Structure 1
Amino acid sequence: MAIELELKLMLQSEHLTSASNFLDNICASSNHDGQSRLPTLTLMNAYFDTQDGDLMQAGMALRIRAVNGQFIQTVKTRGSNRIGMHARGEWEWQLPNARLDLTLLTQVPLPESLADMAWGAQLVEVYRTDFERQVWNIDCHNTQMEVVCDRGLVTSPYGEDAICELELELKSGDEAGLYEFALQLAECVPVQVSLVSKAQKGVRLKNRHIEFPEKLHNTTDEIALAAYWYEVWLAYWEAMYFMQDEALMQPVRHSMSQLSDCLPDDLALTVTRLDQMLVAQLKEDETAILKTLAGMTQIGIVMLNIGKWLNQQTI
């Protein structure tokens, strides 16, 4: 088993070339052996679950990936909570063909609800992802990471959703280095932090449900409250683009306001200034507001700085 720790960034398709150029330039300007662009991959992933979504409800994703004529079976678990990041258990096995081998799951500590394996006979392909992946190895701020740029589609009988994202996966070093490098990128390319995995994109095509962090009750812990409102902000932001509904700007701004009350003064000021920028944009052109906001670098910079600070408080 490996623990996969990654920082996911959403961006709109018109900014993909800028992101690729930025990463190419980083590699071209360095003589470091740890920095290089790898061959582009074309990936297909078929995700399996029961019709009732038993695996999803237990926090597990099961897939088969086809890449360059090879087949890989993967199990991912929800893992531990890392504010604004994805931290998941991951198990992988090479397969001779595109058929699931459930006997391999004896190596996985399954949730109690799945332990009897009765669900195995009820598995169906519930959605799939098809995307092109560009890959870079980056060594920055004493951190080795793999950066990928994915573009494609999630499809299911219930519809489709776009994949357009960057993932910074920690290979070795300090996770703060992921944030430092992401901030360098965000200065040049408009990106925003995302908590939504490709598996979650597939699931919500059926239920149209937006996942939010679990509500807090009866707590005065400022860090816990800040983490909660930060993730609510990220959830509403991504939902606004998934649903193409600018009306969600109201809960976006409300979560920003609540978050600001839990932050130290310097970070709270950046949120206040960002909110003022959002209001100004809303007044200028409501008809193209989603496209306009997607091109603002300041949004991702504020998200990343707060995420970096929150993770430092919880280490």
Structure 2
Amino acid sequence: MPSQDNSLREIEIKLSAKEKTLEKIVNNPVFNRYGNAIWQQKKLLNQYIDSADYQLTKANVALRVRKDGEQYIQTLKSKGNSVGGFSARDEFDWYLNSSQLDRSLLVSPYWPEKLHGFDKSSLMTIFSTDFVRQYAQFIWDVDGEQALIEVAVDQGTVKALHQQTGICELELELKSGNANTMLNFAIELASRFPLIPSNLSKAERGYRLINPDVYKKIMVGVPLVEGSFDDRVKYYLAASQYYWESYNWQPEPARLVSWVEALQNLCTLLKKQNIEELISLLEPMLLDWKQIIEVDSKEWHKKVFEESDCTRLGVFLLSASRWLLNRH
């Protein structure tokens, strides 16, 4: 029989990186500043489950069964909120005795109200994410503010419909302590290594393989005209990340132009409130890119590759997330 559920609020930062960067991070002494981080490794095999017409993802939930060593874990996740790579969402875990989905666990209060009446017998595996995880836990301490953080380096593949895409990312998960402290650590890492926050989950990468047209058309919402200042900052921050990630997925010039436009709108907003700590990070990068998009678009992809090897984009996005977090 499966164990009783373990529900929690997952708070994490997802950072995309190149393979060479991840190798350097694992061996970096920064993790040993406040104790010896003991790195471990395991293989995680994940089957993501939905109906043939994708009712779960439409309801903003993800369902998977994971094999972790000899243990099977059934997990239901909400989409939650994700800005600048920093996300918070509800997660429910159940330990199973086999790889078979246990539909009896998918009930209130875990099961979304919008899926009331949904035929759970239609659920089936639609894609997989298999990767090797190197991970360690350590305590980061800054001026007496502590956070217990799990650092995970994930490398592998997402497979769907005879297609696949790579997984190459760093995740920081807050186990206990202050979320702001974890963001401070992420900013320090991003100032040392080219790490760019990502709002795209492994599950969303699978759905993107299944139906790429959805991700060609998707947008973060309608621009807010009358929303609060914070909401408008979140909108343009999310828009900039969407266009950056979508361009790196499928390099269409219009996406790069939209990325620069989102950053320009964000910079204009920040200047109205004189948020100098963010303006000083964003404006030099924005000026560079406004000049770049005026030249032949054949050069753009090279410039994107060069930007991905810099630290400034990651530092700005994480600093913006920290600023928003400290506003509340």
Same fold (TM over 0.5): yes
Between the two proteins, the alignment pairs up a number of residues equal to 307
In 1, Cα distance between the equivalents of 2:253 and 2:321?
A: 24
Equivalent position of 2:161 in the other structure: 157
Asked if 1:309 corresponds to 2:309, the answer is: no
Aligned to 2:90: 89
**1:245 to 1:218, Cα distance in 2 relative to 1, 3 A:** closer
- Give distance in 1, aligned partners of 2:251 and 2:134: 27
Aligned partner of 2:307 in structure 1 is 293
How many Å separate the matches in 1 of 2:149 and 2:219? 28
Consecutive unaligned residues of structure 2, counting only runs of 5 or more, are 1-6
Q: Return the alpha-carbon distance in structure 2 between the equivalents of residues 293 and 45 of structure 1.
A: 32
8 Å CA contact retained: 1:158, 1:206: no
| Alignment counterpart, residue 276 of structure 1, candidates 271, 274, 287 | 287
Residue 145 (structure 1) aligns with: 149
Which whole-Å CA distance do the structure 2 matches of 1:109 and 1:67 have between them? Answer: 22
Aligned to 1:172: 176
Matching residue of 1:52? 53
| RMSD of aligned residue pairs (Cα, Å) | 2.1
Distance 1:296 1:281 in 2: 16
Q: Distance in 1 between matches of 2:27 and 2:114?
A: 46
Match of 1:184 in 2: 188
Structure 1 residue 18 corresponds to structure 2 residue 24: yes
Mean Cα displacement is larger for which, 262-271 or 303-312?
A: 262-271
Find the aligned partners of 1:51 and 1:220 in 2 and give their Cα distance: 37
Distance 1:53 1:296, change over 3 A: same
Contact (CA 8 Å) 2:83, 2:199: kept in 1 or not? no
Provide the secondary structure at the position in 2 that maps to 1:135: strand
Distance 1:221 1:113, change over 3 A: closer
Tell me by how many angstroms 1:29 deviates: 4.3
CA shift digits 1:18-57 (9 cap, x unpaired)? 22223xx123444x3xx52231111110000001000111
- Cα offsets for 1:199-237 (capped at 9, x unmatched): 111111122133432224441522111111001011111
1:231-284 deviation line (CA, Å, top 9, x unaligned): 101111111111144552211110000011121341223211111233566669
Q: Is the 8 A contact 2:251 2:301 kept in 1?
A: no
- Normalization by structure 2: what TM-score? 0.87
Q: Is the contact made by 2:260 and 2:290 (CA closer than 8 Å) also made in structure 1?
A: no
Aligned residue for 2:219, secondary structure, equals coil
Note closer, same or farther for the CA distance 1:245–1:189 as it changes in structure 2 (3 Å cut). farther
AA in 1 matched with 2:41:
T
Question: Which residue does 1:232 correspond to in 2?
Answer: 239
Q: Is residue 2:9 matched to residue 1:3?
A: yes
Where 1:249 maps in the other structure, the secondary structure is: helix
Give secondary structure in 1 for the equivalent of 2:41.
strand
Q: Following the alignment from structure 2 to structure 1, what is the Cα–Cα distance between the partners of residues 25 and 65? A: 28
The answer to whether the 8 A contact 1:83-1:310 is kept is: no
Instruction: Tell whether the 8 Å contact from 2:22 to 2:170 is kept in structure 1 after alignment.
Output: no
Aligned match for 1:27, one of 25, 31, 38: 31
Distance between the aligned counterparts of 1:226 and 1:66, measured in 2? 39
Q: Give the Cα separation in 1 of the matches to 2:280 and 2:191.
A: 19
- Give 1:173 deviation, angstroms: 1.3
Q: How much does 1:195 deviate?
A: 0.5
The AA in structure 2 aligned to 1:96 is N
SS in 2 for 1:37: coil
Matched residue, 1:219 = 226
Deviation track 1:127-184 (CA, whole Å, cap 9, x = no partner) reads: 1001111112121131111111111111100622211111111111111112110111
Q: Distance in 1 between matches of 2:301 and 2:203?
A: 31
Alignment partners' CA distance in 2, 1:219 and 1:298:
31
Matched residue type, 2:326 = Q
TM-score (normalised: structure 1): 0.90
- Equivalent of 1:199, from 200, 203, 206? 203
